[in-house]
Amino acid sequence: MGNNAVRHAGTPNTAISHIIEHHASEISPELPVEGLTLLSREHNQVTLAIISDTHAQHDRLELPERADILIHCGDIARHHTSSGDTRLFNEWLGTLKERFPYRVVVGGNHDYGLTKKKLTNATHYLCDTTETICGLRVHGAPWTPARSYFRYRAQAFTANRRRIQERFQLVPCNGLDILITHGPPLFILDEDGGGCPDLAECVVAAKPRLHLFGHKHRTRGARTCEWNNGSSTLFVNAASVAGKGKRGDPLHPVITIPIN
């Protein structure tokens, strides 16, 4: 493990259940993500277009005319049709090269068999990897906690707590601009406790400028966190599909954010 990796020993039994709140000086109420598009654009800003949980309905999205980076936070497919959905999604990405010079994808729990080789039209497929894109340091991690298979059939990129801790220890803790995960951290836009406690620990250590995710469709939105050291993180749940992700469910507008 490198010197810049997150180090933590875990919080057994979630001793500090609100770990992010414990390290924050202030956390905003939930913010509408549509308001984020109103931020002024300056000449040195990079524009992000952010989507997640499209569940094979990417072709119905109303994308902006252009953005520097298109980011997908996982669940491009339906779990029972993952291979075909991935192929169609990759073809769709290929039609966007002129409008979105950088196309970044992280996997989700519905995306069985997703690999870099299957996303030839993505400029960056991030799976426990860090890249510099448009001058921004970006890390992507697809992992969410394993759940009961009898209740939840979609189990791609899920893992037990020990393995998730190992994966999140690969997140850089110095100078990280954007963290992209599929799921939310505990108690941040996570449908009242459905987030990952180990991801919350990771975010506290890394303190990225932006943390982008989806997974929890009903808590799409944004929150800002001011940390005790004076830095801040903007959390964004970018879930695109309303409802359970069935074909024909309404789609939310694409989130756009400018960042220096």
Looking at residue 174, its pLDDT comes to 93
Q: Where are the domains of the chain?
A: 12-259
- What is the Cβ-side half-sphere exposure of residue 49, based on CA atoms within 13 angstroms? 19
CA nearest to 141, candidates 124, 157, 158, 127: 127
Give pLDDT tens digits along the chain (260 positions): 344 554 444 444 444 578 999 999 999 999 989 877 655 566 679 999 999 999 999 999 999 999 999 999 999 999 888 999 999 999 999 999 999 999 999 999 999 999 999 999 999 999 999 999 999 999 999 999 997 666 667 899 999 999 999 999 999 999 999 999 999 999 999 998 999 999 999 999 999 999 999 999 999 999 999 999 999 999 999 999 988 767 778 899 999 999 98
Choices 3.60.21.10, 3.90.1070.10, 3.30.70.2190, 1.20.1250.20: CATH for 12-259 = 3.60.21.10
Q: What is the pLDDT of residue 40?
A: 59
d(CA 119, CA 139): 18
Residue corresponding to tokens 């599909």: 241
- Taking the CB of residue 1, how many other CB atoms lie within 10 A of it? 9
Q: Whole-model pTM above 0.85?
A: yes
